Chain A
């Protein structure tokens, strides 16, 4: 490549991908508004909603619970060794609790659910799209936004805070188990320390985050599924894109929401 070609190539490539990104943001925004407007208008498909709730909520419990448990346990060890540098080992219970509840419970839970749920929603809806099942829904007078998207988004937004709440408890339990077995904490003192420093606002801010992450996960799964390309390859790409975009959006939203709660 000559120098001039490189010089024109770079701005061209940057401009191209910027435009592509803007177009994507526009489309996702329109999709979101469309989903929200369908949420508010009947009919509401209760059966689809309860299936989604079962799949997204109940069947994600083991994944979210186990990751939270191990994260809490590791966090206790890290904070203990970090705290030891300025003789502050006693902060372990409160920092584990605050860290889990405000940050790691919702974020790690959200990312795990993104891997599990965004992928499967995108694969299912994408397959329905390439096998003309979405077209068939339309010809049977059923709006795919109402029938497929709304129940999943609602279910994920409701299920995710519950999952995060359970994750919070298991994460604190992980820290507690490590604390009393490995770090020499007294069981009663550990629990008291956790209780004394944890505020309701910490828990609530984390649960709000989780609700936002649940919304993001289902939205990305549905969006990429509905816009899946043709054939098996199209569905594969939709699935990958759903997981990647849900994960990135969760981390970005986490920062924004943390700023909001931080200044509040």
Chain B
């Protein structure tokens, strides 16, 4: 394999007294699907936001495609990414298709309105939404539908690197399956590098090439998904089996 697409070294981030990340080391290969697991509130979302520069880490280095992520042209950097936010983060002043086509309607990747709308409707179809949804406002959709619109927006401009923050949380099992397959397809067809945060072990098995478990501010375990079940790591085993007893305290 060639050089890693995303490399984190000793990344730390604290909010006041709350030390969330305490030296994260992680490497994601080009075209690889990395899944991050870990209890809620362990800093998975913060980790992704650090890579995108939405949160400024206190220490450590982050390299994307070999270059320091905090330096260089921001616009060119961000144009390579797609991001699905945990809560969807749809713009509620815009219709669904305008949300999906946001990047295609302005800036460097701007194109004619009709074309942008067509692409938006095509992406909506890929996440299992009918074209009738295109002209609704996000507030008129259910939570699961909003999530899928967020997903469509993340892939609209065919990014090289895609982050999915809990893509299947709040979806029914069938739709979760559809989304898992979609993520797999995107990584396969588009050759994109993906980083997915999830709690859902069936998603992990469906999506992941590699798995990393975040606990206590560090990557507790990382390796290929095939080795996950025989890792011998008590933290990872507890998480996979969903037991209340183990090294991970249920009260956090």
**Which A residues have a C-beta under 8 Å from some C-beta of B?**
43, 45, 128, 131-133, 135-142
B43-81 vs A, CB cutoff 8 Å, 1 = contact: the mask equals 000000100111000000000000000000011001101
Interchain CB contact under 8 A, B91 and A133: yes
Q: Which of B4-12, B33-41, B102-110, B208-216 contacts A (4 or more CB under 8 A)?
A: B102-110
**Residues in A neighbouring B74, C-beta threshold 8 A:** 141
Hey, which chain A residues are within 8 Å of B52, CB to CB?
A: 138-139
Q: Find chain A residues with CB under 8 A from B234 CB.
A: none
Query: B75 to chain A: which residues have CB within 8 Å?
Result: 141
Q: Which A residues are CB-close (under 8 A) to B79?
A: 141
A-B contacts, 10 listed (Cβ < 8 Å): A43-B107, A131-B89, A135-B49, A136-B85, A136-B91, A138-B54, A139-B54, A139-B81, A140-B103, A141-B79
Report B25 CB to chain A, min CB distance, Å: 24
- Determine whether the beta carbon of B78 is less than 8 Å from that of A139: yes
Question: CA separation between A139 and B91, bound complex, in Å?
Answer: 13
Q: What separation, in Å, do the CA atoms of A83 and B114 have in the docked complex? A: 67
Report chain B residues within 8 Å CB of A136: 83, 85, 89-91
> From residue B30, how far is it (CB to closest CB) to chain A in Å?
20
The SS class assigned to the B binding surface is mixed
Going nearest first, the 4 A-B pairs with the smallest beta carbon separation are A132-B89, A136-B89, A139-B83, A141-B78
* Shortest Cβ distance from residue B81 to the other chain A in the assembled complex, whole angstroms: 6
Whether B49 lies near A140 (C-beta < 8 A) is no
Nearest CB in chain B: distance from A134 CB, A = 9
B interface, CB within 8 angstroms of A: 49, 52-54, 74-75, 78-79, 81-83, 85-87, 89-92, 102-103, 106-108, 153
A128, B103: Cα distance in complex, Å: 18
Q: Are B107 and A142 in contact (CB under 8 A)?
A: yes
What is the CB-to-nearest-CB distance from A29 to chain B, in angstroms, rounded to a whole number? 21
Do B78 and A132 touch (CB < 8 A)? Answer: no
Judge whether A133 and B78 touch: CB under 8 Å: no
Residues of chain A with a CB closer than 8 A to B91's CB: 128, 133, 136-137
CB <8 Å contact, B107 and A133 = no
- Complex Cα gap A139–B89 (Å): 11
In Å, the complex CA distance between A132 and B52 comes to: 13
Residues on B with C-beta less than 8 A from A43 are 106-107
Cα of A65 to Cα of B54 in the assembled complex, Å: 43
In this complex, the member of A43, A135, A140 whose beta carbon has the largest number of chain B beta carbons within 10 angstroms is A140
Pick the contact of A133: B83, B89, B106 (CB < 8 A): B89
Q: In the complex the two chains form, is B85's CB within 8 Å of A135's CB?
A: yes
- Which residues of chain B have C-beta atoms less than 8 A from A135's C-beta? 49, 54, 85, 89
B133 CB to nearest A CB, Å = 19
Closest CB-CB distance, B233 to chain A, in whole Å? 32
Residues A140 and B85 in contact, CB atoms below 8 Å apart: no
Q: Which residues of A contact B153 (CB under 8 A)?
A: 140
Q: Which residues of A contact B102 (CB under 8 A)?
A: 140, 142
Give Cα distance in the complex from A141 to B102, angstroms. Answer: 10
Q: Is the CB of A141 within 8 A of B103?
A: yes
Chain B residues with Cβ below 8 Å from A138 are 52-54, 78
A66 to chain B, nearest CB (A): 28
CA of A43 to CA of B74 in the docked complex: distance in angstroms?
15
Query: Cβ of A142 and Cβ of B85 under 8 Å apart?
Result: no
Q: Report the separation of the CA atoms of residues A131 and B108 in the bound assembly, to the nearest whole angstrom.
A: 26
CA distance A136 to B91 in the complex (A): 9
Contact B83 A142, beta carbon cutoff 8 Å: no
Question: From B154, which residue of chain A is reached at the shortest CB distance?
Answer: A139
Most buried by B among A43, A132, A139: A139
B53 proximity list for chain A (CB < 8 A): 138
Residues of B within 8 A of A128 (CB): 91
Question: Given A133-B92, A135-B54, A141-B75, list of 17 further CB < 8 A pairs?
Answer: A45-B106, A131-B87, A131-B89, A132-B85, A132-B87, A133-B91, A135-B49, A135-B89, A138-B53, A138-B54, A140-B102, A140-B103, A141-B74, A141-B103, A141-B108, A142-B102, A142-B107
